[in-house]
Amino acid sequence: MTRSLCNFGTDPTNPEDLGAEIEICIDGKPFLIKSTSGIYVPKGMKHGPLTWKKFEKPHLELTIMIGAGSLAEADPGGHEALKKQSAVGSGQ
């Protein structure tokens, strides 16, 4: 599945300032995002995790997944399964 990751700063006087530092590993290499940006991740390229290293002000993140026809395809890391396991373990 192809993904595009977009990060937008929300400061109207300086929209390029993201107000955060986000690290993402793409193909095993870490990248630090500090400004409004877009990243294209081709199908099959390993990526993640995405980690917020610093947060100063609100910002927006948008992930576009082309070819994700189901939640399982959109979430291959199994976050929904982990959430269910956590709920069972806590007695909910």
Domain boundaries, the chain: 2-89
Which CATH architecture fits 2-89? Sandwich (2.60)
Fill in the DSSP letter of residue 70: S
Q: Answer for the pair 26, 45: CB distance below 8 angstroms, yes or no.
A: yes
pTM of the model: 0.69
Task: Return the pLDDT at 65.
Answer: 82
Task: Return the pLDDT at 3.
Answer: 83
Residues 6+ apart with CB under 8 A from 26: 39, 41, 45, 46, 47
Token digits for 91? Answer: 């007695």
Q: Answer for the pair 45, 12: CB distance below 8 angstroms, yes or no.
A: no
Token digits for 88? Answer: 């069972």
Per-residue pLDDT of the chain (92 residues; tens, 9 = 90+): 688 899 999 999 999 999 999 999 999 999 999 999 999 998 888 888 889 999 999 999 988 888 777 777 777 666 667 777 777 766 66
